Chains A and B, each alone.
Chain A
Amino acid sequence: MLTERLLSIFRKEGDPVSKGAQPVGLHSTNATRSAPAIGLANRKSARKDPALTRQSRGLEQFFFNIRDVVGLSVLDCAGANQDNIDFLINLGHKVYSQDLVRNLDEAFGQDLAEQTNPSRIDYFLRQNFDYPRETLDGVLLWDALQFMSPALLNATVERLYDVMRPKSYLLAFFTATERVLQAPSHSFRIADNKAIVLTERGIRPAGQVFNNRNLEKLFGKFESVKFFLTRENLREVIVRR
């Protein structure tokens, strides 16, 4: 009874933790769980406030990799928000901003079949990644890539390779839930160099099933791929160009 009471303090309705321990499907030795301290502290407040603040090992790694350098060009695909802009500007960087998930809807709607049209794919890439070669020093893709069909996703990753500078990094989140047809979409705000605020903004069709192996293959042209697994069943992926 005491155990149940203790567990209820840290549990909210629909919390996957309440359904039992999540299996960790680790295929890469680099995959680790993110520190849950902030996430746990905010679970009670999450009942009233839909925004969840939690630590992000992927974000921490991203900013660690570009520490001590100013004047970089960083693309933030979360959509313009004051928090992200202020954070990146205060680091001394030039910010490129767009809402990639919203732009996906504008270009293709939510029908994944529309994402296989080569001319639409080309239009989407010109609208969203029209940068000179090797311009970007960092790309924060957040969860947008997981809503792309294989054809669009491969073309986007190919374009990212072209527009990113060598040795630069991108951060992308993919759902870690196997055999999932839909995934929640979030807005992401940077709280500090190792914490983010997530606010759910609906459920969307997932582009495909993701696992470490097919993600390594997706980013095969890049120099390295590193995974972090979070309590919210998100796979945070840091990729070095």
Chain B
Amino acid sequence: MSSTPYRTPEPDSRNAATIGKSVKIVGQIFTKEDLYVDGDVEGTIESQENKVTVGPNGRVQASIRAREVIILGQVQGNVETSDKVDIRKDAKLVGDITTSRISIEDGALFKGSIDIKKPEPKPVASAPGPVVARPAEPHSAAASGAVAATTTGVNR
């Protein structure tokens, strides 16, 4: 059994759009792919279905809205995710977080609020239960179509 302590793997920027450490952007950023920010950003960052990573050299003064946010650098602004916020060891975040999951490593600095909002469970289509035919009501005009389901199966 290995005695090496488990370390959270470094985020991979290879498959993401990248803002390099010598780049500064002031404005609104919208992206439909993962974004890796290692430079300076002021404004807003929005990547609803994707992941935004603030690299160790990243300095973000912006609100961030994404599916998932990983912070290794500095962020001043609110962070809202549908899935997860991950604040790594030497990161600094000042702002409010709205998310369904959060992870903070020891050594990270955070000042703000954390509001957990679990995603709404998707409605599950119920499997049709056994059909029990009821005796026709004497005065019912829709007797031929009357069906009473006694059980409802739920797909798990």
Contact = CB atoms under 8 A, between A and B. Distances in A.
Interface of A: 73, 79-82, 85, 89, 94-99, 102-103
What is the interface of chain B mostly: helix, strand, loop, or mixed?
Answer: strand
A102 B92 CA distance: 13
B110 interface: yes
Given A94-B115, A95-B114, A97-B114, A85 B109 contact: no
20 contacts: A73-B113, A79-B109, A80-B87, A80-B104, A80-B110, A80-B111, A81-B106, A82-B103, A82-B104, A85-B102, A85-B104, A89-B116, A94-B113, A94-B115, A95-B114, A97-B112, A98-B110, A98-B111, A102-B109, A103-B111
Interface string B93-124: 00000000011111011111111100000000
Contacts of B110: 80, 97-98
B140 to A, nearest CB: 47
Contacts of B105: 82
A202 B71 CA distance: 28
Contacts of A85: 102, 104, 114
Interface string B74-106: 000000000000010000000000000011111
A97 B96 CA distance: 10
A22 to B, nearest CB: 32
Contact of A94 (B87, B108, B109, B114): B114
- Give 9 nearest A-B pairs by CB, closest first: A80-B110, A95-B114, A98-B111, A96-B113, A80-B104, A94-B115, A89-B116, A82-B104, A97-B110
Contacts, number: 40
Nearest to B102: A85
Interface residues of B, number: 15
B111 A97 contact: yes
A28 B102 CA distance: 42
Contacts of B103: 82
A95 B110 CA distance: 12
A99 B112 CA distance: 10
A164 to B, nearest CB: 16
A8 to B, nearest CB: 32
A99 B103 CA distance: 17
A99 B109 contact: yes
Nearest to A94: B115
B109 A95 contact: no
A95 B113 contact: yes
A134 B102 CA distance: 27
A96 B102 CA distance: 14
Contacts of A82: 103-106
Contacts of B102: 85, 89
B113 A81 contact: no
B4 to A, nearest CB: 20
Contact of B104 (A73, A81, A98, A102): A81
Given A85-B102, A85-B104, A80 B113 contact: no
B75 to A, nearest CB: 13
